Structure 1
């Protein structure tokens, strides 16, 4: 990838498959850095091109500041691919502190979710990203997920943020295809990562360079094959694999919110255990787990 026009520091190569890796918990519910790192290495061994710890799948909003730092350190130490670490928080002060720590331990970029809970206007959004970008020497990626944060960026606001020194790209989980298409068209110097498994193929067609895929947390090979097929010009095969991703995604969405990824990982019988989810999130019950296993076996991915 090339540097943005407003930044003299080249962006890390976060094209391809970039799983939003999970945070593992031990039997006491504490963060397990070793298992967290092992999961990151698992997706890299499956072909992932980069990793994104402390995204939504990483349960970042349920972790203490110290736990977040341990996750970033563990993953950065474990893998030899680019690491773009989630550092977002409701306040600019806390976001900057998280970003400074992440940069100090060697991440290749930071991902900054729009501040959440309080409504955010255009001036506040631009000032927030300006403060983070000014505080670190690594590229900053905007994380746009208005369904969870309550704050949607207008195309005009994104344009102002894109012009800031140090802002390299955007990870979009809005599922708003017209918005994403216009954002890519209006900001050709930014790197765009599509953040929904329902739009992997569509995101590539629009011009996204990376796929942030929850399915890739469990079945990295599947999503890597999709990306590679598309990159090789075999769109029919990429579309076929997108259909499989649809089916896997639907199977993993049964039961409580986000329980599918960690349950499916346990069904893969890896040599690490990522544990359950942190309360108030909860895991699948026995019936849901059995149904998920049946579905995944019928799909041929287990």
Structure 2
């Protein structure tokens, strides 16, 4: 039950809401999978107040993992925190067959729901997108959430296609398009769906637009900060929520300096969080100068 924060949609059996970190995948120094580190990070964000966890999103480096590794990550996170919060597993792939296979494996591992990024690389029209998602919906007895991130996939979903996806039986949408007019109209058209805003630049605006949950990369490092923001908003303290959004903007800017996606794992090491190791190549960690600059900024913000 929420207060001032938007409620999940009635078509969502998990009633997702609150803070849903897209948890990281931990690696050993040689870039092999580190299940213990992966589990420790999931536990870290849940201890920090996360309402659910989302393994194998962008922050989870899913496209850089083999199918077997992806299945192992889902099983690891379910075993670590599945008795405490819902686990919604990223299962998307360029092909429908591979996506269905990963969704079936996630369901077998005990994931509570599956998150399906729009297929990428090849252009996708509306009918093809609907058939893709329908295949997943029919294959698994789990709620299916659309992951809409056209800036990474190259495939945007029209509002008309979203209408068809809602009719096909999706439970919700994780929107990382940063297209606020699209998001606002999508929420207005489909109050039965749960919407999760997927950019730290739009946490409070996403709540204002009707999103029930926040999929936040910043929450991978400072879950308590984003949980405080959500709780302030839910309690009706919009001024406090907007102040915290301002802090999130500063943290987001600091994390985005340097190599793509390096900030989260570097910041975790700076705050003595769980040891999650390097990124998998071709991604790379921050160098010494970049890490020092990040550390200075976080200290100036008064963050651990």
TM-score by length of 1: 0.96
**Is the Cα contact below 8 Å between 2:232 and 2:238 reproduced in 1?**
yes
**Is the Cα contact below 8 Å between 1:172 and 1:192 reproduced in 2?**
yes
**How many residue pairs are counted as aligned between the two chains?**
295
Aligned to 1:7: none
Residues 40-81 of structure 1 show CA distances to partners (whole Å, capped at 9, x for unaligned) of 000000000000000000000000000000100000010010
How much has 1:162 moved relative to structure 2? Answer: 1.0
**Is the Cα contact below 8 Å between 1:13 and 1:82 reproduced in 2?**
no
**Is the Cα contact below 8 Å between 1:112 and 1:142 reproduced in 2?**
yes
**1:285 and 2:255 are equivalent in the alignment:** no
Aligned to 2:72: 70
**Is the Cα contact below 8 Å between 2:200 and 2:218 reproduced in 1?**
yes
**1:254 and 2:257 are equivalent in the alignment:** yes
CA distance in 1, matches of 2:298, 2:34: 27
Instruction: List alignment gaps of at least 5 residues for structure 2.
Output: 1-7
**Is the Cα contact below 8 Å between 2:9 and 2:191 reproduced in 1?**
no
How much has 1:108 moved relative to structure 2? Answer: 0.9
TM-score by length of 2: 0.96
How much has 1:3 moved relative to structure 2? Answer: 3.7
**Is the Cα contact below 8 Å between 2:9 and 2:194 reproduced in 1?**
no
CA RMSD in angstroms comes to: 0.8
Aligned to 2:33: 31
Residue of structure 1 aligned with 2:205, choices 202, 206, 231: 202
How much has 1:232 moved relative to structure 2? Answer: 0.2
**Is the Cα contact below 8 Å between 2:92 and 2:119 reproduced in 1?**
yes
Residue of structure 2 aligned with 1:105, choices 90, 106, 109: 109
Aligned to 1:18: 20
Aligned to 1:43: 45
CA distance in 2, matches of 1:268, 1:190: 36
Secondary structure, aligned partner of 1:179: helix
**Is the Cα contact below 8 Å between 1:23 and 1:274 reproduced in 2?**
yes
**Is the Cα contact below 8 Å between 2:100 and 2:136 reproduced in 1?**
yes
Instruction: List alignment gaps of at least 5 residues for structure 1.
Output: 5-9
Aligned to 2:267: 264
Q: Which runs of 4+ in 1 moved over 3 A?
A: none
